[in-house]
Amino acid sequence: MKQIIGNQMVMYHKISVSLSANTLSVKLNDKKCVEYQKDTDNSCVIRRPGKPDQKEKSGFLETALQDMSFSLRFLNIRTQHLTIDLENDAPLGFLNTLAEYFPNRFLAVRIAILISKKTDCSKILELMEPGYLKEIFIGHHTKRCVSNWADSIYELEQWKQATHADLSDFIKLDCDQLKHYYHLKHFEVELKDFSMEQAGVMRNTLLSLPQFETCKIYAPGFSAPRLKTWVLKELSGAGTGTESKIYRYARGDTDKVLDIEFLGQHFFSICRKDG
């Protein structure tokens, strides 16, 4: 932690917030900082390491949000990694009131949101500072979800100004939704109903994008080795996997190339480079 007393800036490497039906806990740099637990009379017990338990009359979630709101009001807290873990039984109604507790944007470079059921993740992303937030990861604890779960995210400035995104453990995308990812330097997605024709359109688009660097594509219904019909040149040396190879796609009308690595039968990566 780095603290600057003059303007009350506090920097953490990691901040983690976990919410279940009866508990909200906060970790700072992987060490538990505070836990708010629902008591039998619907009041709240606050537990901090090395300190006696504290009882509050208000509910645990309201108490936790008020405390965090108070801290953020007086401290300019920043973090490299922010994790929000919403467990299966977490009460999600609070998402609609987050803006009331946190009127100021939160400064995090990377956010990871973990969910177990349909969640309006945009309510959380809206709290982040656009431009300062560079990386977005959204994952589902048990299964991937239908593609329209992310529609509300794509219109946010936080999404539009990000550079990296991984929603491959969150949703299965229709191929035409890739347009929402083409502003990113790196993205990881799962595609459904992927075809060679769609692969060709994606290839040509990625080749032309000035900011694009890398992506990973998982397409369960598509045989990735079919991409070798693009007349690829096998490069010497191994890929990132122990048995994988890297193949290069080049075109005469551009000095950019695409290096393609087959990571599995339905899984491949693409890296855009200078030829």
Asked if the structure places residue 210 within a domain, the reply is yes
Return the H-helix or E-strand segment holding 17: strand 9-19
Asked if the structure places residue 120 within a domain, the reply is yes
Asked if the structure places residue 257 within a domain, the reply is yes
Helices (H), the chain: 60-74, 98-101, 122-125, 157-160, 196-208
Asked if the structure places residue 178 within a domain, the reply is no
Residue 157 and residue 245 share a domain: no
Confidence of residue 117 (pLDDT cuts 50, 70, 90): confident
Give residue-wise pLDDT tens across range 7-46. 577 899 999 999 999 999 999 998 989 999 999 898 999 9
DSSP 3-state of 118: coil
Residue 156 and residue 63 share a domain: yes
Among 140, 173, 206, residue at a domain's last position: 173
Residue 200 and residue 168 share a domain: no
How many folded domains does the chain comprise? 2
The region that residue 29 occupies, defined by phi over 0 for left and psi between -120 and 50 for alpha, beta otherwise, is: left
Asked if the structure places residue 42 within a domain, the reply is yes
Residue 29 and residue 143 share a domain: yes
Give residue-wise pLDDT tens across range 130-184. 999 999 999 988 766 655 678 889 999 999 999 999 998 888 899 999 999 999 9
Q: Please list the residues that pair with 27 across neighbouring strands.
A: 16, 32
- Tokens found for residue 159: 């999404």
Asked if the structure places residue 188 within a domain, the reply is no
Confidence of residue 5 (pLDDT cuts 50, 70, 90): very low
Residue 49 belongs to what domain range?
A: 2-173
Residue 154 and residue 243 share a domain: no
Give residue-wise pLDDT tens across range 182-205. 999 999 999 988 999 999 999 999
pTM of this prediction? 0.91
Residue 149 burial (C-beta neighbours within 10 Å; 0-12, 13-18, 19+): buried
Residue 203 and residue 150 share a domain: no
Residue 269 and residue 164 share a domain: no
Among 139, 173, 207, residue at a domain's last position: 173
Residue 242 and residue 199 share a domain: yes
Give residue-wise pLDDT tens across range 44-85. 999 999 999 999 999 999 999 999 998 887 788 899 999 999
Residue 200 and residue 145 share a domain: no
Residue 113 and residue 217 share a domain: no
Asked if the structure places residue 189 within a domain, the reply is no
Residue 147 and residue 64 share a domain: yes
Residue 91 and residue 25 share a domain: yes
Of 185, 122, 104, 192, whose CA–CA distance to 158 is shortest? 122
Asked if the structure places residue 82 within a domain, the reply is yes
DSSP 3-state of 63: helix
